[in-house]
Amino acid sequence: MKVLLFLMMMALSVQETSAQQPNATDVLGAAQKANKYFMTKHADPTLPTNVGRIRPSSLWTRAVYYEGLMALYDIDPRQEYIDYTDRWANHHQWTARNGIKTTDADDQCCQQTYIDRYVMTKDNRMIEHVKENLENQMNTGKIGYWTWIDAIQMAMPVYSKMYRVTGDRRYIDHAMKMYTWSRDTCGGGLFNTAEGLWWRDADYVPPYKEKDGQNCYWSRGSGWVYAALVKVMTDIGRKDKYYKQLKRDFILMSEALLKCQREDGLWNPSLVSPVTYGGKELTGTALFLYGMSWGINNKILKAKKYKAACDRAWKAMVNDCMHPDGFLGYVQGTGKDPSAGQPVTYTKTPDFEDYGTGCFLLGATEYYKLIKK
């Protein structure tokens, strides 16, 4: 009798554990819900944004959304996603914000999606202005453009994607020079290899400290770099001479991020100093989920060590941040450090919603691939 009771309890425990585990169908459904909310709210993708002032919808916040949409299309290939993307890109004439002469990474971010669409169509019209823009920047001879770490995500994948579609190594060579300058030279080096995290820009390198004496590491800032490493390594492949360096940085970041995940599965805006702007935050969490899931999927990170962190992050993103209609809470507004857009809450609408949805979609789609196996 005792044996039978024990077996029944074990079976019930297994069922409960199984029921608690996210499944791929639910993950896809959540991604679709978040995207539908955004596309419904912003039915005309050509309209400019109006937050403080009018800006074209090719600005970086919207460009990050399209990065997420392209990732969603990869696992959920719906024509409406392509139509929505092409209407936006055609309106902006497949050109960087502020024209082909711009060297600002925020302006260049939209070109990631232009190249993604070129890969699908082989329509040269989609990348001819991208080539002009990158040629213009490379011809300046300057490498010290990425003075803030967000820029690494905004622009480095533009270069790696262009290398991937053309085979022209000038693109990836130049991108790596700019990355290395940001990593090792800007402000004395923005990547603290001893702690595996990045200072957002030269304003935050030592002697700057938070109130509790800790370094200031901004969640979404490190998230941008983490996402960029994923994209660039994907583009160049394991045999490329730069892969080992990027992989080493990726692993250092992964180990550091794992240590500062909150018990509820999210990450604080201030990664190691919760006394200064601790609390739930979606965008950094989504980018970390994106990177960790990719790392497991590509056998760089061990599932035994990182899978549970991914599961916790996803559950928290859905249970704590997503509203029934697809609106995403706990999205920190634009800025440059943990104090930006505070307080970050479940019901607060950030100044820009689009990049929050983009980050969510990146995390959701890579996690979907992880658990669908």
Residue type, 56: P
Instruction: Using pLDDT thresholds of 50, 70 and 90, give the confidence band for residue 373.
Output: confident
DSSP annotation string for 201-243 = BGGGSTT---TTS----BHHHHHHHHHHHHHHHHHH-TTSTTH
Distance CA 15, CA 10 (A): 9
CB within 8 A of 154, min separation 6: which ones?
60, 63, 105, 106, 108, 109, 224
Instruction: Using pLDDT thresholds of 50, 70 and 90, give the confidence band for residue 265.
Output: very high
Residue 333 in contact with residue 341, Cβ under 8 Å?
yes
Nearest-Å Rg of the Cα atoms of the chain is 21
What was the pLDDT predicted at 329? Answer: 98
- pLDDT digit string (tens) for 73-92? 999 999 999 999 999 999 99
Calculate mean pLDDT across residues 287-306.
98
Is residue 16's pLDDT more than 60? no
Is residue 3's pLDDT more than 70? no
Distance CA 307, CA 273 (A): 25
The model's pTM is: 0.94
What was the pLDDT predicted at 287? Answer: 99
What was the pLDDT predicted at 256? Answer: 98
Q: Is the pLDDT higher at 230 or at 11?
A: 230
What was the pLDDT predicted at 14? Answer: 40
What is the DSSP secondary structure assignment for residue 328, as one 8-state letter?
B
Calculate mean pLDDT across residues 301-308.
98
Estimate the share of the chain in helix, then strand, then coil, as percent rounded to the nearest 5.
60, 5, 35
Residue 127 in contact with residue 151, Cβ under 8 Å?
no
Q: Would you state the structure tokens that stand for residue 74, as one six-digit string?
A: 């990869």
Average pLDDT, the chain: 95
- pLDDT digit string (tens) for 23-78? 999 999 999 999 999 999 999 999 999 899 999 999 999 999 999 999 999 999 99
- pLDDT digit string (tens) for 133-148? 999 999 999 999 999 9
Instruction: Give how far Cα 334 sits from Cα of 61, 218, 235, 277, 341, Å.
Output: 9, 12, 28, 15, 7
Distance CA 203, CA 333 (A): 19
Is residue 324's pLDDT more than 70? yes
Q: Would you state the structure tokens that stand for residue 85, as one six-digit string?
A: 């993307």
What was the pLDDT predicted at 21? Answer: 81
Asked whether the bond before 350 is cis by omega within 30 degrees of 0, the reply is no
